[in-house]
Amino acid sequence: MGLNSINGLQLKKMVIAGANELNDNRQLVDSLNVFPVPDGDTGTNMSLTALAAARECEKDNSLSIAEVSKTAASGSLRGARGNSGVILSQLFRGFSKGLEGLEEAGTLELASACRKGVETAYKAVMKPKEGTILTVARACADAAEKYAVEVEDIEVFLSKIIEEGNEMLLKTKDMLPVLKQADVVDAGGKGLLCILVGAFKSINTSGEIKLNDNTQTPMVDFSALTSVDNSEITFGYCTEFFVLQKNVPDETVNELKTYLTSIGDSLVVVADEEMIKVHVHTDHPGRAIEKALTIGALNGLKIDNMRIQHTNKIDFTATNKEATIKATEKKGTGFISISMGSGLSEIFKNLGVDEIIEGGQTMNPSTEDILNAIEKVDAENIIVLPNNKNIILAAEQAAKLTSHKNIFVLPSTTVPEGIAAMINYDATEDIDTSFEIMKESMGLVKTCSVTYAVRDTSFGAIKIAQGDILGMLGGEIQVVAKDIAEGTKELVTKAVSDDSEVISVYYGADVDKENAGKMVDYLKEAYPHCEVELHLGNQPLYYYIISVE
């Protein structure tokens, strides 16, 4: 006798099995990720999104399919990573809306929910492209509606959906030039079908129904993409974040979409009762962040340089077609640093940091994030550099929860303090002495930070208007100005003394190299007794971070 309806517990089992199936195949899906550029890793992003939904479902023992689907949708939105992950979360969300009020569902109800999921996902994407996960999802919904009136057995129903989804997935290869060039199917579509295959396996206990999966694809040789110049990438920074604001009006969400469309593309903006999830490709992530801050506080901020990702992907495959993972000897001392901005992260890596945790102002990493990084560092002793006073406690908590490694939390409150500490690390000394040397070196650094006011306020006797340039020395506001350059110059005068020797300028994502160069030229002329260095920080929110030593 076939399965003619499913309840909440059965859907829970299907969601968990689907997430696990995708997780098992994430490397394969990652290897297909060539559209529109290597924007993160599609398999990994979708897997993390699906696993977030599964983790929430594990806690939900409701028999109601409506309740469990709502739980899955909520978990997927909060765990959504990357463009494909956000779209997947919207498929979950629409599917949930299609099941509202139901205790269980048969093929007709499931088909209706599939259609609602596709409609929700298409609405979330400003400029939907065919040949993507959306196309495969729509084909699955079409198949669901076709077979729902022919069969009641959900195993047969789901197997037919997967078969027709696979047929459409094969067609994606001819829908987009970049897929045709690399001779691969769409990565997001493949990831979606992995989830459906896992769900099918969880209910196909008899094994009598076999799937016709004709899209088994080997790992991809990206050398076919070497002719694609990364200058063809219109917008260079993949920017993601949550806006933490409840029940945001539709007109506010639409206004945000319109603005982000004017400065970028690949836009996905979705909102629920608790927050707004944003994914956009732009050359000005700071502007996107500034606009979002007018709505609410931010969390989960992530900015990736896609042009670097594109080049790295091609360079790797062109020279390492049979790359292997080489075992490394266990280190005596390892390092973990919190950093915001690809340029600053690269500086820390060059100084010997093993693991970088993206974070900083408005995006403080959690204790769990730090614990996860600790597990990745194979060293007897690990020094953690929080580089922000609001992250020190989380780092110390992570240290207390780690018993199998020696964790040392360096109380660095700014990025320049962390950089100075790494520069002064002495591997010839024992860990306690090295730690003290690093700690002492932080006291020789003054940190200047140049940002902007997100609202009207006052600081003591100083009146501050939204948009004013704020110059901070350490953590204290010292300068309020209308012009970035003038505010920066005034701030540096408060930090430089006759004993100062080095001024290091780290320019942010919203400052171009030409203007940063002009600032350095001014500082060299104004302070001839100091050596002035310029570095790309690419940090959000802060136009300049400047260290004076």
One-letter amino acid of 262: S
Q: Please report the pLDDT score of residue 39 as a whole number.
A: 39
Q: Please report the pLDDT score of residue 224 as a whole number.
A: 42
Distance CA(340)–CA(334), nearest Å, equals 20
- Token code pair at residue 40: 């993160």
Compute φ and ψ for 503, nearest 5 degrees: -120, 120
pTM of the model: 0.54
The stretch 83-106 carries a mean pLDDT of 92
pLDDT digits (tens, 9 = 90+) for 414-470: 999 999 999 888 888 889 999 999 999 999 999 999 999 877 877 667 788 888 999
Q: What is the mean pLDDT of the chain?
A: 84
The stretch 70-83 carries a mean pLDDT of 85
The H or E element that residue 227 is part of is: none
Q: Please report the pLDDT score of residue 38 as a whole number.
A: 34
Structural domain count, the chain: 4
Q: Are residues 337 and 304 in the same domain?
A: no
Q: Are residues 199 and 236 in the same domain?
A: no
For 512, other C-beta atoms within 10 Å of its C-beta total: 9
Asked if residues 89 and 49 have their Cβ atoms less than 8 Å apart, the reply is: yes
Q: Please report the pLDDT score of residue 233 as a whole number.
A: 53
pLDDT digits (tens, 9 = 90+) for 24-38: 898 888 877 654 333
For the domain that residue 265 is a member of, what is the CATH number?
Answer: 3.30.70.980
Q: Are residues 394 and 246 in the same domain?
A: no
DSSP of 465-533 = -TT-EEEEETTEEEEEESSHHHHHHHHHHHH--TT--EEEEEE-TTS-HHHHHHHHHHHHHH-TTSEEE
Residue 225 domain-assigned (yes or no):
no
Residue 324 domain-assigned (yes or no):
no
Q: Are residues 386 and 426 in the same domain?
A: yes
Residue 1 domain-assigned (yes or no):
no
Which residues constitute the domain of residue 194?
6-218
Q: Please report the pLDDT score of residue 320 as a whole number.
A: 43
Q: Are residues 195 and 213 in the same domain?
A: yes
Residue 365 domain-assigned (yes or no):
yes
Distance CA(8)–CA(230), nearest Å, equals 46
Q: Please report the pLDDT score of residue 206 as a whole number.
A: 65
Q: Are residues 284 and 361 in the same domain?
A: no
Please report, rounded to a whole number, the percentage of residues in the chain having pLDDT higher than 90: 48
Q: Are residues 412 and 479 in the same domain?
A: no
pLDDT digits (tens, 9 = 90+) for 321-361: 343 333 334 568 999 999 988 899 989 988 889 999 987 65
pLDDT digits (tens, 9 = 90+) for 522-534: 999 999 999 999 9
Q: Please report the pLDDT score of residue 135 as a whole number.
A: 95
- Give 166-215 as a 3 state SS string: HHHHHHHCCCCHHHHHHCCCCHHHHHHHHHHHHHHHHHCCCCCCCCCCCC
The stretch 398-405 carries a mean pLDDT of 85
Q: Which of 218, 242, 257 delimits the end of a domain?
A: 218
For the domain that residue 127 is a member of, what is the CATH number?
Answer: 1.25.40.340
Q: Cα separations (Å) of 92 from 19, 195, 242, 254, 393? A: 12, 12, 18, 22, 36
Please report, rounded to a whole number, the percentage of residues in the chain having pLDDT higher than 70: 87
Give the 3-state secondary structure of residue 25: coil
Q: Each residue of 339-358: b (16+ CB within 10 Å) or e?
A: bbbbbbbbbbeeeebbbbbb
Q: Please report the pLDDT score of residue 342 as a whole number.
A: 87
The stretch 272-300 carries a mean pLDDT of 86
Distance CA(266)–CA(238), nearest Å, equals 9
Q: Are residues 306 and 427 in the same domain?
A: no
Q: Please report the pLDDT score of residue 96 as a whole number.
A: 96
Residue 223 domain-assigned (yes or no):
no
Q: Which of 159-173, 387-401, 468-482 has the highest mean pLDDT?
A: 159-173
Residue 326 domain-assigned (yes or no):
no
